């Protein structure tokens, strides 16, 4: 961290585990603010996750529809999943989730960067990938996963995101990154042509 940002840094003093769940771990931390005053921070610790934009040779994004309990509705998302541990190899986890949720394997996996999902109170980091050169086999979802696999042209996905029809943050970020990459390379049709 550069010295010019030091005036923004909060210093941790103590951390207390409040809830230790299967997916989230809630901590109550005491910090010292940059002005020297103490403050409380509630932080959800998460092992991390991966997500993948599977793009077919025909320019379709392979997505999943699944019910998301916290929002009580079915969402359209790209394949994604929680890491088994913080040390798990991210590309390997991405390939696992791609195969389990869509049945796809890929020839080329390109990193798209990381997404901080809710940085105000959750430390989850999602590593995003683009998968190309797809071949398809059987899906193998987790026992508690119920998914419909759908294919949507990349340009249509971008339009759906811009209209607000796709509300999942990781899907928005990763698909828009892929669209921007393809536009820069001249690989994607421009929607205003």
Active site residues: 143
CA 130 vs CA 18, 82, 84, 192: distances in Å: 37, 17, 21, 24
- H or E segment to which residue 101 belongs: helix 90-102
> Rounded to 5 degrees, what angle do the CA atoms 113, 116, 118 make?
160
Q: Which phi and psi angles does 66 have, rounded to 5°? A: -150, 150
d(CA 121, CA 100): 30
> Rounded distance, CA 99 to CA 96, Å?
5
């Amino acid at each position: 961290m550069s010295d010019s940002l030091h005036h923004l840094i909060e210093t941790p003093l103590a951390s207390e585990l409040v809830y230790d769940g299967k997916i989230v771990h809630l901590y109550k931390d005491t910090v010292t603010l940059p002005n020297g005053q103490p403050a409380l921070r509630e932080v959800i610790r998460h092992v991390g996750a991966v997500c993948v934009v599977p793009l077919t040779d025909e320019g379709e994004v392979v997505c999943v529809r699944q019910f998301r309990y916290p929002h009580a509705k079915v969402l359209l998302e790209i394949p994604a999943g929680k890491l088994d541990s913080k040390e798990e190899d991210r590309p390997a986890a991405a390939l696992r989730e791609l195969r389990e949720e869509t049945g796809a394997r890929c020839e080329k996996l390109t990193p798209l960067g990381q997404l901080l999902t809710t940085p105000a109170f959750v430390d989850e980091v999602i590593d995003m990938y683009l998968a190309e050169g797809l071949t398809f086999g059987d899906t193998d979802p987790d026992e508690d996963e119920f998914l419909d696999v759908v294919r949507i042209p990349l340009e249509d996905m971008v339009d759906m995101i811009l209209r607000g029809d796709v509300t999942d943050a990781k899907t928005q970020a990763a698909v828009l990154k892929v669209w921007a990459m393809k536009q820069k390379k001249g690989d994607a049709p421009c929607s205003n042509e």
